[in-house]
Amino acid sequence: MKNKNPLLQPFLKWVGGKRQLLPEIRKLVPKKYNSYYEPFLGAGAVLFDLKPKKAVVNDLNEELINCYKAIKEELLDLIKDLKNHKNTSEYFYELRQKDRTAEYGQLTSYQKASRIIYLNKTCFNGLFRVNSQGQFNAPFGRYANPSYLNEPVLTAVRNYLTENDITITNSDFTESLQTAKKGDFVYIDPPYDPISDTASFTGYNLNQFYQNDQRRLKTLVDELNNKGCHILLSNSSTDFIRDLYKDYNIRTIKANRNINSNAEKRGKVDELLIYNYDLEIC
Ligand SMILES: C[S@@+](CC[C@H](N)C(=O)[O-])C[C@H]1O[C@@H](n2cnc3c(N)ncnc32)[C@H](O)[C@@H]1O
């Protein structure tokens, strides 16, 4: 299946982004469903690929959700602001330190979004990384032509969000799934269970996702399953996750590991796609 609107794509680089896994994910998406739910939205690769007409999408990261809202509601101001940025180290660090100042609270929603899009595209490896105070702390990436102003993509995202019934929320996953009903499709892509102690991910936001959160999520998955929702979940292939979802269908796929800054440690790793429906029927 080809993407019919290639401009509708993630406007941020995001750790755990699902673009490379779309061919595998598409094979498991139910052919028919009512509303679409994505409680851990990130950069939205799956949402933009499926383009549902009715969806409830959510992420706990406030800066991220603010970007979606600014694109939806204030795109012209956002684009104007993005045009003012400069790709120099001095400018990067000046803009980066703004969240350490009182002035930060005075920025408008589109100015905050413009700052995050710029920092995300110009920082090293496109990491959204914050320190213990929630301040952006990834270093300057020294890229020749970072694409922080991509008007066609931002416009395609705005058009999709405004022309369809898309609810965007900023809360913990549990709240965002309260309204899911029988026949809805829920794609769940939580922060992964770390495959080793050193692989434990640092980023996204202050709140880390621990094994207790994975258990909390599993309880909710069981509730959604009982309601009759179609559920597809991604996670790493650890004994803990395999055991937690042992009563569900589990497919193992190969994914590129790309968050390791040491090139030698990058490579293919096993990941899991866990689902609760019969592929012949759905
Ligand atoms: C693996 S990423 C999702 C990647 C996304 N599928 C993509 O293609 O970009 C996990 C996301 O979960 C969010 N997150 C972490 N804890 C959360 C929570 N308790 N509730 C909702 N979202 C959370 C993070 O901010 C992050 O964006």
Q: What is the domain partition of the chain in residue ranges?
A: 19-61+170-275, 67-149
Backbone angles phi, psi at 281, to 5 degrees: -95, -40
Q: Which stretch of DSSP H or E encloses residue 65?
A: helix 62-73
Say whether pLDDT at 77 is over 90.
yes
Token couple for 67: 């970007």
Distances (CA, A) of 259 to 144, 266, 267: 21, 8, 10
20: CB partners within 8 A, 6+ apart = 255, 256
Cα 24 to Cα 134: distance, rounded to the nearest angstrom: 34
Q: How close is the Cα of 188 to the center of ligand 1, in Å?
A: 9
Q: Which amino acid is at 180?
A: A
CA atoms within 13 A on the CB side of 194: 13
Cα 126 to Cα 119: distance, rounded to the nearest angstrom: 8
Average pLDDT over residues 222-236: 98
Q: How close is the Cα of 16 to the center of ligand 1, in Å?
A: 8
201: CB partners within 8 A, 6+ apart = 15, 16, 191, 192, 194, 259
27: CB partners within 8 A, 6+ apart = none
Bridge partners of residue 232, in order along the sequence: 187, 275
pLDDT at residue 133, rounded to an integer: 81
Average pLDDT over residues 112-138: 89
pLDDT at residue 214, rounded to an integer: 97
pLDDT at residue 263, rounded to an integer: 55
pLDDT at residue 129, rounded to an integer: 80
**Is 169 a pocket residue for ligand 1 (Cβ < 6 Å)?**
no
Residue 261 banded pLDDT, cuts 50, 70, 90: low
Say whether pLDDT at 11 is over 50.
yes
Say whether pLDDT at 86 is over 60.
yes
Instruction: Please tell me the CATH code under which domain 19-61+170-275 is placed.
Output: 3.40.50.150
**Is 189 a pocket residue for ligand 1 (Cβ < 6 Å)?**
yes
CATH fold, domain 67-149, is: Adenine-specific Methyltransferase; domain 2 (1.10.1020)
pLDDT at residue 264, rounded to an integer: 55
Q: Please, what is the average pLDDT of the chain?
A: 91
Pick the residue with more confidence: 111 or 269? 111
**Is 187 a pocket residue for ligand 1 (Cβ < 6 Å)?**
no
pLDDT at residue 17, rounded to an integer: 87
- Ligand 1, pocket-test mutation among 67, 200, 204, 272, most atoms within 8 A of CB: 204
Average pLDDT over residues 221-229: 98
pLDDT at residue 206, rounded to an integer: 54
Residue 15 banded pLDDT, cuts 50, 70, 90: confident
Cα 41 to Cα 204: distance, rounded to the nearest angstrom: 12
Angle (CA) 40-43-49 rounded to 5° is 95
Token couple for 20: 């490379």
Average pLDDT over residues 39-48: 97
Q: Kindly report the pTM of this predicted structure.
A: 0.93
Say whether pLDDT at 153 is over 70.
yes
pLDDT at residue 202, rounded to an integer: 45
